[in-house]
Structure 1
Amino acid sequence: MPTLTSITIYPLKSCAGLPLARATVEPLGLQHDRRWMAVRPDGSFLTGRELPALVRVRAVPGPSGLHLSAPDMPGLEVPLPPAGAPRLDITIWKDTCSAARTHADADRWLSEYLGQPVLLVHVDERMQRRVDPTYATPEDHVGFADGFPLLLISEASLADLNQRLAHPVPMARFRPNLVVDGCAAFAEDGWKRLRIGTVELTGVKLCARCVLTTVDPETARADPRQEPLRTLATYRRVSSRNGVMFGQNVTVQRPGEIRVGDAVEILE
């Protein structure tokens, strides 16, 4: 039976991954995962695709807010926005929703680090963003992740890819929330229902990969050979429209607790 070998959250969208030994799974995904996001003043979202320096921001959540740090920047404590905080209409791909503005100090800190005007927003209780109904139920919601609450990848799938690469890449290039071992390469493609700890998940859509996979999370530099995306395209392209697939997007059917080492039971 497969086992869960890694749990990772990305509290600020596109920031450095934060590994955990255990986590609470909420309807929106892992607790604290992608609950903060950098946006342009017009509310359009920003990611490491266009601003690779974001991958070197370390964002650590706490009970009262978020601690930010980055190379050559002082650390900053960002408090959770209060219930009556100003709001901003933000866009993520085709979705538009209302998010809470955060402290002006955070806007200044991110703007200085990224070299352009940036605002920091937060997923609060008032924000509602539905998962694409093509792949999920009307009850499924998501925070600031690209489209789905969780991303799962198997270690065997990465090993299969690395055998084809001149220079192997770490799992961090693909920014999964959950990594599993003990299954065949790409077995996760076919998982429709699974249980980990007390949590039940539904596999809904393979993950189409983008240029962010070519960015080294340690240096924020893009691979000039466009690897591993270039190699993945030779054998993991579903169609020209759907793109290059690696990993399974999942939604949460029953929230609960998970731990590294938990068995991953494939229900369907």
Structure 2
Amino acid sequence: MHSIVPDSINVFNRPRWCTLTPQYHNASRRADLSKHNKYTPVIAGHSKSVVNDKMRAVSVESAVATSVVALTGLLGAVWMYQRHRNTQKDNKPPAEWREVATIQKIHLYPLKSGRRVELQSAECTKFGLKHNSRYEKALQLYDRSFLVVGAENGEFKTARTFPKMVLIEVGVHDEWHVSFEAPGMRQLYVKIPKEGDVKATKITLHQKEEIFALDCGDEAASWCSRYIYGKDTGLRLVFHDAADEHKRDLRPTHQKMLNNYTELNTSTGLYSDLTAVMMINQASIDDLNTKIESDTVITSENFRPNLIISGDGAPPFIEDYWAWIKIGDVILKNVKPCTRCMFTTIDPENGTRNQDREPLHTLEKYRKLKNVLHKEYEGELTVMGAMLGVHQGGEINVGDTIYVGI
């Protein structure tokens, strides 16, 4: 595979370098300085005026040549940018693809803020990843299909506030039940609720977004309350059934975000913050670790991605510029850069916060959205990874080749 160097084209914004002004001005300034330089040397056999005329001619030719080069670059950049805009507008995947990397890890998070489940294979659906039915025959769990909420207001709870939630493990028990385990707690078996058997309700996610939910019962509520709150009541556990009629609609609550990321509303997951799939590049993690000044070592798990990739064609942060991604029959669309919060400072293995605020402290020095992709909206937030929508579903496996659109 060949290394791919970013074309310096912002996938989300007009390229800032599409200008010939600095080069043109520098060339013109050199011409002006030559014209007015009183110390112009006299060459043997030529009068001073002839020399000046020739030097002015050379300066003008240099300025013209520089301008032609700049204009050529400008036209090329505009063409590439317009090609990207047309692809975005039509929402059609490209016809040609280039190999760049492979899948190193696949992670599923059945409980939002819970511990990851590491998979060798998964089904990629429009709602995100789920267990591959060829390997998990009893029950196939979706990514972020369970959520802990407040008993009174239905507001979501995460490890941002309760870090020990990252230690809750969820697994398949049989075709109707899942198991919940956490340090110091007895194992809990939860029956998958079905609409009609239990009352459907609404919970609230970010910006008061209302999302469909099915309550998992009093025993599950008590278990979550005791582990997270240290008391018998206060929390409920809910489940999303991934039915088409229960797909999220961001328009009532996220209009400003949708104005900036126009395909976000058709790319949502179940209880994920936004999109169905999140991908991260191991080379970007490695680059980050070289810049952290303390002894802290950050892993991809700090960022809770679904897909961890690596390869010769995936240097650090190249994923910022990929618009379309193909893995086997699966086609993914890069719809939004993944902005980061304090959750990344929680150790995924023990649930403790990093005292140095890493990796945020280092990311704030060189990975703010306004500096990386020149976006003012969310500009002060840091970026690591890409939020993806599923254009075409299918099976993915560890070791699968990753292609990007040409």
TM-score calculated relative to the size of structure 2: 0.64
Q: Output the CA distance in 2 between the equivalents of 1:201 and 1:65.
A: 31
The answer to whether the Cα contact below 8 Å between 2:267 and 2:388 also exists between their aligned partners in 1 is no
1:217-259 residue CA offsets vs partner (Å, 9 max, x unmatched): 1221101111111001000012383300000000000010000
1:247 equivalenced with 2:385 (yes/no)? yes
Aligned equivalent of 1:65: 177
- Which residue, out of 219, 224, 242, partners 2:355? 224
Aligned equivalent of 1:51: 162
Aligned equivalent of 2:223: 109
The answer to whether the Cα contact below 8 Å between 1:130 and 1:142 also exists between their aligned partners in 2 is no
Deviation, 1:139, is 4.0
Deviation, 1:2, is 0.5
Q: Output the CA distance in 1 between the equivalents of 2:366 and 2:305.
A: 20
Aligned equivalent of 2:248: 129
Matches within 5 A, 1:30-179: 30-31=129-130, 32-41=142-151, 42-61=153-172, 63-84=175-196, 85-94=198-207, 95-115=209-229, 117-124=234-241, 125=243, 126-130=245-249, 133-134=258-259, 135=261, 136=263, 139-165=266-292, 166=294, 167-179=296-308
**SS of residue paired to 2:369:** strand
**SS of residue paired to 2:187:** strand
Of residues 147-156 and 109-118 in structure 1, the stretch that sits farther from structure 2 once superposed is 109-118
Deviation, 1:137, is 6.0
**SS of residue paired to 1:179:** strand
Aligned equivalent of 2:83: none
Deviation, 1:102, is 1.0
Greater RCO (CA < 8 Å, at least 6 residues apart): 1
1:181 equivalenced with 2:310 (yes/no)? yes
Of residues 153-162 and 99-108 in structure 1, the stretch that sits farther from structure 2 once superposed is 99-108
Q: Output the CA distance in 2 between the equivalents of 1:52 and 1:103.
A: 24
The answer to whether the Cα contact below 8 Å between 1:155 and 1:181 also exists between their aligned partners in 2 is yes
Q: Output the CA distance in 1 between the equivalents of 2:183 and 2:226.
A: 12
Instruction: Indicate the structure (1 or 2) with the bigger Cα radius of gyration.
Output: 2
The answer to whether the Cα contact below 8 Å between 2:329 and 2:395 also exists between their aligned partners in 1 is yes
Deviation, 1:138, is 5.2
Query: What amino acid is aligned across from residue 57 of structure 1 in structure 2?
Result: I
Q: Output the CA distance in 2 between the equivalents of 1:231 and 1:53.
A: 24
Aligned equivalent of 2:394: 256
The size of the alignment, in residue pairs, is 268
Q: Output the CA distance in 1 between the equivalents of 2:342 and 2:264.
A: 29
The answer to whether the Cα contact below 8 Å between 1:11 and 1:61 also exists between their aligned partners in 2 is no
TM-score calculated relative to the size of structure 1: 0.95
Change (3 A) 1:174 1:138: closer
Aligned equivalent of 2:103: 4
1:143-171 residue CA offsets vs partner (Å, 9 max, x unmatched): 00001111100110000001112321111
Q: Output the CA distance in 1 between the equivalents of 2:202 and 2:145.
A: 15
Deviation, 1:98, is 2.4
1:32-89 residue CA offsets vs partner (Å, 9 max, x unmatched): 1000000001111011101111001011145323210000101111111023111222
Q: Output the CA distance in 1 between the equivalents of 2:391 and 2:190.
A: 32
Change (3 A) 1:186 1:114: same
Aligned equivalent of 2:323: 192
Query: What amino acid is aligned across from residue 269 of structure 2 in structure 1?
Result: V
The answer to whether the Cα contact below 8 Å between 2:264 and 2:335 also exists between their aligned partners in 1 is no
Q: Output the CA distance in 2 between the equivalents of 1:194 and 1:30.
A: 15
**SS of residue paired to 1:168:** coil
The answer to whether the Cα contact below 8 Å between 1:197 and 1:259 also exists between their aligned partners in 2 is no
The answer to whether the Cα contact below 8 Å between 1:130 and 1:140 also exists between their aligned partners in 2 is no
Deviation, 1:141, is 3.6
Q: Show structure 1 runs of 5+ residues with no match.
A: none
Aligned equivalent of 1:238: 369
Q: Output the CA distance in 2 between the equivalents of 1:68 and 1:13.
A: 13
Aligned-CA RMSD value: 1.6
Aligned equivalent of 1:22: 121
